[in-house]
Structure 1
Amino acid sequence: MSQRNYKSNKNIVFSCKYHVVFCPKYRRPVLTDGVDERFKQIALELSEELGFEIVEQEVMPDHVHLLIDCDPQFGIHRIVKQLKGRSSRLLRSEFPWLKRRLPSLWTNSYFVATVGGAPIAIVRQYIENQKWVADNK
């Protein structure tokens, strides 16, 4: 049986993991040619800055999967907003062709689900396998 790792702040002890998925505007396959790797760097920098953990991430050409462990008082919605905002601004400035292809990089919507009772290893494996599934379509 795996041991659950709990985190704490001065008020609470928690273990909150979220599966987050979001897409570029019009689901265009623009997360390629270095944009994917740069997105991963931006996400890791932001996680260190805001104090959340990216347990797993996979960037597909037309969507992003993240497994995030964060303080519930900070809120997953704030993380997603910061992540989409900063990555859009930086990626569109570093890759000018994105500005020509899209009026804005990300859609306004996103999917988020708590991992709940699912073993983290299973969710991590699912996210890791997304690249393989897309390549074999």
Structure 2
Amino acid sequence: MNNYRRTNTTVSMLHYHFVFCPRYRRKLFDDDLFERRFKEIVHDVCEGLDIHLLAIECDRDHTHLFLSALPSISPSDIMARIKGISSKRLREEFPHLTHLTSLWTRSFFVSTAGNVSSETIKRYVEEQKTRG
């Protein structure tokens, strides 16, 4: 698998592992329809930003994303777009959430895949669904 991203002037391989939570650690991902729709929206946002969504997994009250992005977009900008668009769309589509001013917390965790391999992080994200 070729992990390098090429533009006219740049060759890069930036992989990010993001973790973020709904406000008040609501158990939003207990709803299979909500989780499926959230994943579709994240996929669409990433596609629009030319970000490769390598893995996505949701636990009851948080989600893990493993992405490959060009250096022209910062991790903060990636999260702002994913959280902003998904919050707006999900609150429009799920009426019981319309009273919320925001769906996600303002904070998030991000790390780069520097000390561990991309495959290790991808496997970790995918295994989160099967953990008890």
Matched AA of 1:120: S
Partner of 1:61: 60
Deviation at 1:4, TM superposition (A): 5.5
Partner of 2:107: 109
Matched AA of 1:27: R
Matched AA of 1:40: K
Give the fraction of aligned pairs with identical amino acids, expressed as a percent: 38
> Is residue 5–residue 15 contact of structure 1 (8 Å, CA) maintained in 2?
yes
Q: Measured at CA, do residues 38 and 63 of structure 1 come closer, stay the same or move farther in structure 2, by a change above 3 Å?
A: same
Partner of 2:125: 127
Deviation at 1:74, TM superposition (A): 1.5
TM-score normalised according to structure 1 size = 0.89
Q: CA RMSD in A?
A: 1.4
Partner of 1:78: 77
SS in structure 1 at match of 2:30: coil
Counterpart-to-counterpart distance in 1, 2:101 and 2:38 = 18
> Is residue 16–residue 69 contact of structure 1 (8 Å, CA) maintained in 2?
yes
- Alignment pair present for 1:45 and 2:44: yes
Counterpart-to-counterpart distance in 2, 1:21 and 1:11 = 31
Matched AA of 1:49: G
Q: How many residues in Structure 1 have an aligned counterpart in Structure 2?
A: 131
Structure 2 stretches lacking a partner, 5+ long: none
SS in structure 2 at match of 1:31: helix
TM-score normalised according to structure 2 size = 0.92
> Is residue 36–residue 60 contact of structure 1 (8 Å, CA) maintained in 2?
no
Runs of 4+ in 1 over 4 A off after TM superposition: none
Partner of 2:92: 93
Counterpart-to-counterpart distance in 2, 1:51 and 1:98 = 29
Structure 1 stretches lacking a partner, 5+ long: none
Partner of 2:22: 24
